[in-house]
Amino acid sequence: MPHTILHIDLDAFYCAVEETRNPELRGKAFAVGGKPEERGVVASCSYAARRMGVRSAMPMGKALRLCPGLFIVSSRHGLYSEVSQQVMKRLHDLTPLVEQISIDEAFLDISDLHEAPESIAHKLQSRIRDELQLPCSIGLASNKMVAKIATEVGKSLALSEIKAKGEVKPPNAVTVVPFGEEATFLAPLPAEMLWGVGPKTSARLTELGIHTIGDITKWPDSEMIRMFGENGRDLAQHSKGIDDRPVVTERETKSISQEITFSRDVRDDKVLEKTVEEQSAEVARQLRKNDLAGSTIKLKIRWPDFTTLTRQTTFQHRTDQEDEIAKAALDLLKIVRKPNQAVRLIGVGVTGLGQPIRQLGLWDTSEARRRAAVRIDSEKERKLQEVLEELQEKYGKNIIKRGNMS
């Protein structure tokens, strides 16, 4: 039996969230992101701004030149994450087979639901709109790749119709690709819409006279493999609408990190050290929140000329303690950075993740207890830190802090 995969994409998500908080923004040209004088970039932009040529990841200075009246809204990532979780909850209410691929995008396997897929899509779209005031577009197909492309095509067609009517609003599209019609649907689309076709592959395909996905299907699979290797095999399969990747409901967390790009290059040792300490504290908090600990501490640093370095050190044990993480990161900073050297970006991360070491039980051997003494102290420290974080969440980070015993 064929699968039915639903792909959902929240339309201009950051902007849509901001509009729920400030309805006066609706229909206006605005962008969410950083200030132009602080090297800000566009994180998201409204559909009115897009008509002026503004795009995500564009320097905010360029966006203002394209759209002089552009209104800039500072990013609120905590808020967007909170709203994203509310959306994902509604997806999980529909089916446990949900694969979240970004803050505003997910796949659902709705094969086992006893209702017409298009009806499910429209009901889900209406629920998100009515309960959260957020627009979204949906693609339905027999596999993930075609469902995602269906969403993209549906959004593009809907926006063209909206523009022709002289309106400014999100697409709110629902696009269905019936089982067995995947290749027919894909055939007229540009080859670069296919998964696995980046700039280099696209250029090579153009040299070969391949412009559409349908053009790829005209070439023997063996020729595609000869010219593109394993990627050629994927191109041949994908161009026919074949994709057997399942919806993955859980992903293994491989690293937890924090980084910041300074608005102006920083040379001050104390500022850099304070930043590393704050990042270490946040990474440690995320580790404990996810019941994880890590053995490898990484420092990422970028100089003003955009040269980027990564240095790391590995413990013989796993840790989720900010003091240990910060000390290791600061030691790496002293090794890699010369005195007074300017820094554009700095970040701290932890990898080699696993479950934290817990305190030993009553029946553990004395030899095991001897080996684990330091781990027991670490567990006490961890529990103390958890209590401190609970109090800080309730009363504020600057109200309750750790003190030093004298």
Measured at the alpha carbon of residue 43, what is the angle toward residues 276 and 163, in degrees to the nearest 5? 175
In whole angstroms, what is the distance from residue 98 CA to residue 102 CA? Answer: 12
Write out the two tokens for 403.
Answer: 């003190």
Are 5 and 247 in contact, with CB atoms under 8 Å apart? yes
DSSP-based three-state secondary structure for 352: strand
DSSP-based three-state secondary structure for 171: coil
Nearest to 108 by CA among 196, 31, 5: 5
Torsional class of 154: left (φ above 0), alpha (ψ -120 to 50), beta (otherwise) = alpha
In whole angstroms, what is the distance from residue 329 CA to residue 348 CA? Answer: 7
What does residue 273 show for φ and ψ, rounded to 5 degrees?
Answer: -65, -40
Pairing of strands 105-109, 5-10: antiparallel
Residue type, 325: I
The CA dihedral of 234, 239, 244, 246, to the nearest 10 degrees, is 100
Per-residue CA distances from 366 to 113, 287, 356 (Å): 55, 30, 21
Nearest to 296 by CA among 316, 310, 278: 316
Per-residue CA distances from 266 to 38, 304, 340, 344 (Å): 13, 9, 9, 7
Write out the two tokens for 137.
Answer: 């577009």
Are 283 and 350 in contact, with CB atoms under 8 Å apart? yes
In whole angstroms, what is the distance from residue 212 CA to residue 192 CA? Answer: 8
Q: Judge whether 105 counts as a catalytic residue.
A: yes
Please pick, among 24, 37, 105, 273, the residue that the annotation labels catalytic: 105
Q: Which residues are catalytic?
A: 105
